[in-house]
Amino acid sequence: MPQPTDPDEDNLDDLPPARPVHYAEQSLLGALLLDPHRLPDIGDLDAGQFGNHAHGALFQAIRTVPPPDPEAHRLDPAWLNTVLGAARPNAPGLTASYLHTLIQVCPWPKHAPTYARMIRADHARRTLLMHAERLAQTSTDATLPNPAATTLAQADTLAQFLDSLAGQFAPHPGSLPRTVVPGTPGGRCREEALDEERLLLATATAHPAELKNMRWLQPDDFTLPLHATLWQCLTALDHYGEPVDPVTVLWEAQHRGLLADGLAPGDLIALVSTPVGSPEYWGERVLQRALLARAFDVGTRIAAYAQDPANTPHQLITGSRRALADLTTLRTRWHRSTSPPTPAARQPPSPAVSRAGPPPRATAGSTRALR
């Protein structure tokens, strides 16, 4: 994102251009200063859409000051002085010489609508970047009381902004971004996440009847491949109507090759033998982490698109919508996990199983060697 021009800078015409849009802003302002009657031709443009603060203040002054008589304007610069006086309270660095420079650098005043469209496009890119960065930041904010709901609300705000852009810029073929998105760095799994996954596996082994109500949880939601495969073992046993206990899970794990990697059978049995609370409670915790991680990835991907000035507005719209679609499946499963069951599916709660669970570190220490 460009650094805004200091409104107190006296030599605005000597500043290096931040980006190509700088020339578009100069050309539009020059066209309007030379021919103020072109203002209605440029469409819906706001001063806040300019990347240069002084340019935005000058544009606002042009919109505010009544236009001059065309014949008188060609002979007398009085209107230019009035515009300068209206703009300087918000941009003291503006000078009369800079206004004349703007007029001189404008290639074709009749192209003012195109210059305005370029300014709107660059503002759209900057605003999309802001929304994408906010989504990524929200998904990692540990202070939020309801991080999933807040993150999904931010994703909705981003989607609504994309809808508004779609109405402003006409679609065209070849609209996918070509930006190479850097992969999300794979850091170490947080201990809390691993503990919650272990507790889920152990509690689901102890209470397998809950598995049929947890189809909203998928192996890809786990942070550790070992835990993902063990979840597949549990759901496979439940699907085929086989008994579920630590020994049957061990047997199924052997068929899936888990023991071939040096995992000791006794360690695997210990991992699934420390149940605490309810499987659904821990499953929701695992799914929420997956949801937030996906939202972070989506925000990072869209931010990469928006940071690439080679992308046209429609490329940004199409690429960003596809990125948000990757969040849709997880979002649907999250709503299924947190929505109350229908009356027909509601079952009496088991007195031995509580949906709540204690802090995971209190009970999962015996299996940490399996990481």
Q: What is the pLDDT of residues 211-241, one digit of tens each?
A: 999 999 999 999 999 999 999 999 999 999 9
Q: Out of 1.10.860.10, 3.40.50.300, 3.90.550.10, 3.30.559.10, which CATH number does the structure's domain 191-286+345-370 have?
A: 1.10.860.10
Res 55 pLDDT > 80: yes
Q: Out of 1.20.1530, 2.60.40, 1.10.860, 3.30.450, which CATH number does the structure's domain 12-107 have?
A: 1.10.860
pLDDT of residue 203: 97
Question: How many Cα atoms sit within 13 Å of 7 on the Cβ side?
Answer: 13
The pLDDT of 171-200, averaged and rounded, is 78
pTM over 0.75: yes
Cα–Cα distance between 153 and 87 in angstroms, integer?
A: 38
pLDDT of residue 16: 57
Both structure tokens of 121: 């496009």
